[in-house]
Amino acid sequence: MRVVENILEIQKEIQKCKDTKKIIGLVPTMGALHEGHLSLVKQAKCENEIVIVSIFVNPIQFNNKEDLQNYPKTLEADLELLKQIGCDFVFTPSVNEMYPEQENEIFDFGMLDKVLEGKFRPGHFNGVAVVVNKFFQIINPDNAYFGAKDYQQLLIVKKLVEIKKLPVEIIACSTVREADGLAMSSRNRLLVDEHRQNASVIYKTLQWAKLMHGILSFDELKKQVTERINSVQPFQVEYFEIVSSDDLIVANSVTDFSGIIACIAVFAGKIRLIDNIILK
Ligand code: AMP
């Protein structure tokens, strides 16, 4: 496994792979790797001849300075995990390498980046799109792997590929969970023990919502989901929305769309967690 910090160097390596017509898979991450990330890498290994994992905490997608400062960084451990799993290249550029100049590209995602996360994290998805677009331009992968845990991000990346007409296949990978159902996340390690123990309420309540979505009205469902989670200290729902899985339009009833997903953001103290569940 080679660790490369420099854009020109990774491009040189990739060119060698392309010269021999190797299929290249990219897994973009912000590090602090867990089994969720590794499931993407494993899938990429099955479907590509060369796997590149990028580790880059992208400052322009953080709308909250404190969140950026506190974001966990565990590079040594990450590299060890990637080595064990048989990753070919790890691309770890610095902020200066990625952004030698101030970035000002603005994407038009229509409503897609205005709802759910977009409503509470202004500029977040534009920052995601800028960095993912840069990685695609630098690496030019055949396939790129994204987790369904960040469902809206997945749709944004697909839209980015459509807008820019990029020759890359976006592969969605299912959410990997802890034994108690909590979606794995780099931010989970910031939870204090007591909050971590109680955090299973999020997925348990999402499962309950899936069970009840054909019985309760969506308004009632939203109310009860919020009440159930907020009743556990110190959890506070920021939003719980039921939307079409194609384009995140609010669903008012179960018959509104053929695919419906429920998405949630919850504060456990200062730590913000997101999750989702397909209702139908
Ligand atoms: P991050 O490092 O949080 O930016 O995540 C990098 C990639 O891993 C993104 O495509 C995420 O959606 C994906 N990912 C994060 N957590 C999980 C999980 N629990 N299961 C599956 N994929 C995940």
pLDDT tens for the chain, 280 residues: list them.
999 999 999 999 999 999 999 999 999 999 999 999 999 999 999 999 999 999 999 999 999 999 999 999 999 999 999 999 999 999 999 999 999 999 889 999 999 999 999 999 999 999 999 999 999 999 999 999 999 999 999 999 999 999 999 999 999 999 999 999 999 999 999 999 999 999 999 999 999 999 999 999 999 999 999 999 999 999 999 999 999 999 999 999 999 999 999 999 999 999 999 999 999 9
| β-strands 24-29, 50-55 pairing | parallel
> Can you read off the two tokens belonging to residue 199?
């955090």
Note the Cα 104 to chain centre separation in Å.
22
pLDDT at position 216: 98
**Catalytic-role residue among 37, 124, 195, 213:** 37
Ligand 1 contact, 203 CB (< 6 A): no
> How far is the centre of ligand 1, averaged over its atoms, from the C-alpha of 183 (Å)?
10
pLDDT at position 57: 98
Ligand 1 contact, 61 CB (< 6 A): no
Residues 6+ apart with CB under 8 A from 110: none
DSSP-assigned letter for residue 249: P
How deeply is 101 buried, as exposed, middle or buried, from its count of CB atoms within 10 A (0-12, 13-18, 19+)?
A: exposed
Amino acid at residue number 141: P
Rounded Cα distance, 113 and 51, in Å: 29
Mutate to test the pocket of ligand 1, among 35, 37, 81 (most ligand atoms within 8 A of CB): 37
The per-residue b/e assignment along 247-271, b for 16 or more CB within 10 angstroms, e otherwise, is ebeebeebeebeebbbbbbbebeeb
Rounded Cα distance, 258 and 246, in Å: 9
pLDDT at position 37: 98
Give rounded-to-5 percent helix, strand, coil for the chain. 45, 20, 35
Ligand 1 contact, 36 CB (< 6 A): yes
Side-chain half-sphere CA neighbours of 75 within 13 A = 12
> How far is the centre of ligand 1, averaged over its atoms, from the C-alpha of 217 (Å)?
31
> Comparing C-alpha atoms, which of 212, 213, 202, 266 is closest to residue 243?
213
> How far is the centre of ligand 1, averaged over its atoms, from the C-alpha of 42 (Å)?
13
Integer angstrom CA distances of residue 56 from 37, 77, 133, 183, 229: 13, 15, 14, 21, 32
* Cβ atoms of 220 and 278 closer than 8 Å: no
* Cβ atoms of 214 and 242 closer than 8 Å: no
Residue whose CA is at the smallest distance from ligand 1 atom 22: 147
Ligand 1 contact, 87 CB (< 6 A): no
37 is catalytic: yes
| Tally of CB atoms within 10 A around 48 | 22
Ligand 1 contact, 147 CB (< 6 A): yes
Per DSSP, the chain holds a count of helices (H) and strands (E) of 11, 9
* Cβ atoms of 208 and 229 closer than 8 Å: no
Ligand 1 contact, 41 CB (< 6 A): no
pLDDT at position 11: 98
Position in ligand 1 atom list of the atom nearest CA 37: 8
pLDDT at position 52: 98
